[in-house]
Amino acid sequence: MKTFSSLLLSCLVATIATAQDKQVTSILEILDVTNGTRTVVKEFPYRVEAPNWTPDGQWLVYNSGGKLYKISPDKPGEPEVVPTGFATRCNNDHVIAADGQQIAISHATKEDRKSRIYTLPFAGGTPHLVTPLGPSYLHGWSPDGQQLAYCAERNGNYDVYVIPAEGGEEVRLTTAEGLDDGPEYSPCGNYIWFNSVRTGLMQLWRMKRDGSEQTQMTFDETRNSWFPHVSPDGKFVLFITYRKGDLEPGEHLPNKHVELRLMPAEGGEPRTLIKLFGGQGTINVNSWAPDSRHVAFVSYRLE
């Protein structure tokens, strides 16, 4: 189950500078999944999190200090702020629409500091509130642009919900006790991948878009698996794992030894791509490049 400490990290790590953050170096990297080559885009003497690629491949978007920034993956210069209006407490749950015209964000509202989901033009504008109830943690935007998927706490349990992208009535898709998190649509739009602690360890699951046919996809009893990201061509799933015993199954903490793993989208044995020092902030959102060959991620170094 999502504990208070992990919830606090999910919502506030990116928005409040801590003494520990002042000692963190963040390394924004690109990984070629076919050969394991790692390329450093830029190092930052502070915490940055959750890179995702714009659909045209021109930018990497990440969050830091409650704001969003974009940087070129090919010719990295100084990062540019992505203007989000009053939403200056953004966490690491941000998703770009398939057409690249809009971005959805999770922002901790001033009144109660609970994360809620907003949409706005990628070029900038006034955020539009989508989920009046909080906390709500964004993870997926359907390929047709019609629906958002997110993890939300309602009545003491964390489940996967969906809601029209313009706002409206939310629909609960999971009912298992404990934490269901990280929902993300497959490129075809027919499935939602997510991670669930319902078996005792965090494992990857897949269900139909309406919540039916919830099917376990990973079975590794030595790892807790988080944040499944399906490649744009629909062939592979990238995810992050923590070693069993390093934390509680429902926690995804920073500053841990983790692995990025890859598995076939139809199911099968995963393989480890790389081992790194990271965790929270490394790949919270889908970070596949449009070519389905490269992924962006953040590793960390404690100074």
Query: CATH number of the domain that 183 lies in?
Result: 2.120.10.30
Integer Cα distance of 154 and 218 in angstroms? 27
pLDDT in the model for residue 62: 98
Q: What is the pLDDT of residue 2?
A: 42
- The pair of three-digit structure tokens given for residue 126, joined into one six-digit string: 């006034």
Q: How far apart are CA 126 and CA 203, in angstroms?
A: 37
Decide: helix, strand or coil at residue 253: coil
Domain range enclosing 154: 4-302
pLDDT given for residue 22 in this prediction: 56
pLDDT of residue 189: 96
Structure tokens at 279: 């965790």
| Per-residue tokens: 60 | 């990497």
What's the pLDDT at 16? Answer: 38
Q: How high is the pLDDT of residue 180?
A: 98
* pLDDT number for residue 76: 85
**Quick one: pLDDT at residue 174?**
98
225: amino acid identity, one letter: S
Global pTM reads 0.92
Percentage of residues in the chain having pLDDT higher than 70: 93
For residues 34 and 238, the answer to whether their CB atoms sit within 8 Å is no
In degrees and rounded to multiples of 5, residue 8 shows phi and psi of -60, -40
Residue 131 CB partners (closer than 8 Å, separation 6+): 116, 117, 150, 152, 163, 167, 170
- Residues of the chain where predicted confidence (pLDDT) is lower than 50: 1-20
Rounded to whole angstroms, the Cα distance separating 189 from 143 reads: 6
Give the contacts of 190 (CB within 8 A, at least 6 positions apart): 208, 209
In whole angstroms, give the CA distance from residue 132 to residue 167: 9
Spatial CA neighbour of 197 closest among 220, 212, 181, 185: 181
Domain total of the chain? 1
